[in-house]
Structure 1
Amino acid sequence: MDNYTYLIVIGILVLIAFLSFVTVRQGTVAVITIFGKYHRILQPGLNFKIPLIEVIYSRISIQNRSVELEFQAVTVDQANVYFKAMLLYSVFNQSEEAIKNVAFKFVDERNLMQALIRTVEGSIRAFVATKKQADVLILRKDIVEHVKDQIDQTLEDWGYHLQDLQLNDITFDEVIMKSMSQVVASNNLKAAAENEGQALLITKTKGAEAEGNAIKIAAEAERQAAQLRGQGIALFREEVAKGMSVAAKEMQQANMDTSVILFTMWTEAIKHFSENSKGNVIFLDGSTDGMKRNVQELMSVNMMSKDLEAKKEK
């Protein structure tokens, strides 16, 4: 064998060796076919394949993938709803069946994405079409759960799994958004008015309670004051009666007319009126009959004092 032939054989062996080994990156797997038919899967790392017989049909990523969606739906009350969403999906698992589905269900990645996006959008549109516009904003979680229930089995048949669906933005037509803002503003004003009314009611109630308590306290104080004044007047009258009784006894022992005491008291009262009164004139009955009537009244008071003293002695 000459050198030229030797070099050719060495080159062929090197080429075969080069074609026999293939590297699969981490996070991916390689699908091998023989004459166009599925044969096996190559895992990440350095792998051996039969050159010219085994062919790498496709390399499939097993990592999570995401896609952003923007689409429109219509509610049961004919309101347009605009969605912005983020879809997170991945290969269902690394089983042979799942990898075969991923590799052979669709012609290419573009067709897969088109089918996936349209399936998710259709599921959301079908759900929103049964709801009213006012209910959509509070049904984010229900929408996500509905989509998962509807397409999980379909995606599994394709070899994929829906990891998450995030509805990042839900908007309506400008007219509806404006009316919704007005509704929120009016509700806030209503709540503020109710709170203000309750605060005013509480303030007035507390003020009325305080005023009522003040009136009760003042009334109780007046009652006690009146009681004390009455007791004072009673004590004063009692002491006056005692003094008159003692004076009357002393005048009787001296053989003097006790009416003098009453006349003296009457004149002292007139003097007190003139000294402490705010007026300038005191009207007195100076007639003989008037003086006589006054003296008789005073004598009657004197007799009452004597009767009272007699009762006490008994």
Structure 2
Amino acid sequence: MPPYYLFPIIFLGIIILLGAFFIVKQQTAAIIERFGKFHSIRQSGLHIKVPLVDRIAGRLSLKIQQLDVIIETKTLDDVFVRLKVSVQYKVIKDKVYDAFYKLDYPHDQITSYVFDVVRAEVPKMKLDDVFVRKDDIAIAVKTELNDAMIEYGYDIIKTLVTDIDPDAQVKEAMNRINASEREKIAAQFEGDAARILIVEKAKAEAESKRLQGQGIADQRREIARGLEESVEVLNRVGINSQEASALIVVTQHYDTLQSLGEETNSNLILLPNAPQAGSNMLNDMVASFAASNQIGEAMKKADADKKKDA
């Protein structure tokens, strides 16, 4: 059994030995320095370093990362707008040394380039063009970043303009313009619909009038044909045309009176409408009363004679 004073030394030795082993995760690179100087780059797996001599200076992720940059700038038509540019990038596996030693703050470097490109491109465009040509802005940012960051071991995978946010007052004005345009289009459609209804209604009325006129013409044609046939029939039995016409008129007059009389609930009273019709009607009534009195007197006289003979 070793002396008690050796236990601390043995324990320290175990700790140092265990510290010689280290693990690098997948899609990660570890930078090893020896006495403060770059020594090697270790990829994923189990590795050994010299205790108290080598140290892990840092680790870099080889995965694709994303940095969101928000920039406020002014357009060609003097509208302030905020753009959100998302930059997707990764460390090039063969350039881990450059990415670790040449650049302390890659996020700040990328952000500076994004600001520079966006503030150079957007002021050349009007606000509407910013929305339409946002892909052109993204391509310009990616090209500029690739040329600048490749030297530092970073590969720019993709850049996206994910948000365009104009000033609040500008958005309200744009919304009012869009609403006015939609109301204008709606009014045009409503006007077209109303005009179509008016035209179709007029066509329908014209067709109705045409058919109505055609019906009246056909009716009059048939009446004339019937009158002509009636006159011909009467002429065959020795009645001349003037007498036949008078007879037809009288017949139609009485047919009209008969049709009116068939209406049981009718309150219609027919009166002559000629200028002398009143006096003629009064004379007819007086003559009717006189005839009635004469007939009554004659009947009374006949009854009296019968009683005497009896």
TM-score with structure 1 setting the length = 0.68
Q: What is aligned with 1:159?
A: 153
Does structure 1 retain, via aligned residues, the 8 Å contact 2:16–2:51? yes
Change (3 A) 1:3 1:217: same
Q: Compute the displacement of 1:11 (Å).
A: 5.7
Q: Compute the displacement of 1:282 (Å).
A: 9.6
| Deviating more after overlay: 121-130 vs 272-281 | 272-281
Q: Deviation per CA, 1:273-301, whole angstroms, max 9, x where unpaired?
A: 87569635599xxxxxxxxxxxxxxxxxx
One-letter identity of the residue aligned with 2:198: K
| Deviating more after overlay: 186-195 vs 231-240 | 231-240
Q: What is aligned with 2:201?
A: 207
Q: How far apart in 2 are the matches of 1:25 and 1:10? A: 30
Q: Compute the displacement of 1:269 (Å).
A: 5.9
Q: How far apart in 2 are the matches of 1:148 and 1:33? A: 34
Q: How far apart in 2 are the matches of 1:184 and 1:209? A: 37
Count of matched residue pairs: 260
Alignment of 1:294-305 (within 5 A): none
Where do 5+ consecutive residues of structure 2 fail to align?
258-269, 277-310
Alignment of 1:1-314 (within 5 A): 10=10, 14-92=14-92, 95-97=93-95, 99-106=96-103, 108=104, 111-241=105-235, 244=236, 247-248=237-238, 261-262=239-240, 265=244, 268=247, 272=251, 279-281=272-274
Does structure 2 retain, via aligned residues, the 8 Å contact 1:29–1:59? yes
Change (3 A) 1:146 1:213: farther
Does structure 2 retain, via aligned residues, the 8 Å contact 1:73–1:81? yes
SS at match of 1:137: helix
Q: Compute the displacement of 1:36 (Å).
A: 4.8
One-letter identity of the residue aligned with 2:89: Y
SS at match of 2:132: coil
Q: What is aligned with 2:291?
A: none
One-letter identity of the residue aligned with 2:117: S
Q: What is aligned with 1:294?
A: none
Q: How far apart in 1 are the matches of 2:88 and 2:132? A: 22
Does structure 1 retain, via aligned residues, the 8 Å contact 2:87–2:159? yes
Question: Identity percentage over the alignment?
Answer: 25
TM-score with structure 2 setting the length = 0.69
RMSD: 3.5
Q: How far apart in 2 are the matches of 1:187 and 1:274? A: 70
SS at match of 1:89: strand
